[in-house]
Amino acid sequence: MSVAPLAEPSVAQLIDANLDRSREGLRVIEDWCRFSLKRQDLVVTIKDCRQKLGRHHHKTYKNARSTITDEGLGLKHPFQDNRKSPEQIIEANSARVQEALRVLEEFARTTDPALAKDAAEIRYLLYDLEITVLKATVGSERRHKLQKCNLCLITKPHKNLESIVKSALKAGVKMIQYREKDKDDHEKLVQAKELALLCKHFGALFIVNDRVDIALAIDADGVHLGQKDFPTSIARSLIGHEKLLGRSTHCLEELKRAEEEGCDFLGVGPINATETKPQLTPVGLAYAREASTATRLPWFAIGGINQSNLLPIKEAGAKRIAVVGAIMDSSDPSAASIELLEDLI
């Protein structure tokens, strides 16, 4: 390790403090990527940044450390207590690192140009890296929510659509899939946006059926595609990894393909005949039994499911269901939602 040029004691102390600050902030982000996001690519990049800065942390700087004379030691700001979510923690630590690196650039430029150069390069890298980590964090939280969902309401045209969805959400439904074939695009966009806001208010996932463009336009949580819709690779390239991608499957071969292609959740069915898609032949319970042991992805049994026929579907291995008429056609959508949720426990 090369020896750092001599700097004034106060400058050396300043450089030491900001090297500590930047390395600590990077470690916070790195550990989040490692243990929560499980993104090895991000971990490797951040660890490399930490190691580069560590190589510049010479004894000259460490020996200048003096906690006794540091007037700012232990000072806190009330805003620090407002960091409740992972996103806020990532944002705060990214800002901390960026600010510390800027200080290093300015004060090391004449006495330690190698440090100033690396600090500048890492700072610019972190601008983009922060966005990548934040997007990945949002995606992680969506997948965590998805794991907890056991009932998905798929909408159909109805004069009281918003009221029905709101009743279902109040009852505890945590996933809404917007399906609309008849309205023009402007009407779909307006309606989808209203439902998305409702879901956000209740902390539920909002998924758009078929339409990747609408899902992106209203910043939905994801999109669900049929077998004849966009290929998974194209859909994923459009929506990114932070959004959820679902796929309808009607046999084990389609299920395995969707899993290999990187889908986040699956539809399994139709279990029974359904008015929504009368052209599809019911697959019965056999496919549900196969799905229960064939994949670790969250999957929803679908097709003519209601409270009266739910028990054998559960016994076949289904832990999650997607329904249309069981809630949309009910005289009491709230009660219907509650009954289904209770039966799924």
Q: Token pair of 63, please?
A: 């020996």
Burial class (CB in 10 A: 0-12, 13-18, 19+), 3: exposed
Annotated active-site residue 123? The verdict is: no
Q: Which of 341, 339, 307, 327 is nearest to 160 (CA)?
A: 327
**Distance between CA 330 and CA 182 in Å, rounded?**
22
Sign of CA dihedral 205, 183, 154, 245: negative
Shortest CA distance to 211 belongs to which of 194, 186, 242? 186
Cα dihedral 195/198/200/205 (nearest 10): -50
Q: Based on the number of CB atoms within 10 Å of its own CB, is 41 exposed (0-12), middle (13-18) or buried (19 or more)?
A: exposed
65: its two tokens? 């450390």
**Distance from C-alpha of 282 to C-alpha of 247, rounded to nearest angstrom:** 17
CB atoms within 10 A of CB 201: 10
Can you say whether the dihedral through the CA atoms of 176, 177, 180, 185 is positive or negative?
Answer: positive
Q: Which listed residue (94, 140, 167, 248) is catalytic? A: 248
Active-site choice (179, 193, 257, 314): 179
Q: Which of 170, 277, 289, 314 is catalytic?
A: 277
Report yes or no: 241 and 136 within 8 Å, Cβ to Cβ. yes
The yes-or-no answer on residue 248 being catalytic is yes
Distance, in Å, from the CA atom of 93 to the CA atom of 87, rounded to the nearest integer, reads: 10
Distance in Å from the first CA to the final CA of the chain? 61
Tell me the C-alpha distance between 215 and 221, whole Å: 8
Q: Is 179 a catalytic residue?
A: yes
Active site members: 179, 248, 277
